[in-house]
Homo-oligomer: A and B are copies of this chain.
Amino acid sequence: MSQTRGPFFVGKDIEWETTADGVRRQILAVGTDLMLVRVDFEAGAVGAVHHHPHRQATYVAAGTFDVTMGLESQRVTVGDSFTAPADVPHGVKAIEAGTLIDCFTPVREDFLARNR
Contacts and interface: CB of A to CB of B under 8 A. Distances in A.
A7 B59 contact: no
Interface string A79-91: 1111111101000
A83 B11 contact: no
Main SS at interface, chain A: strand
A9 B72 CA distance: 13
Interface in A1-47: 6-12, 28-36, 38
Given A33-B105, A85-B31, A8 B57 contact: no
Interface residues of A, number: 43
Contact of A29 (B6, B70, B72, B83): B83
B11 A69 contact: no
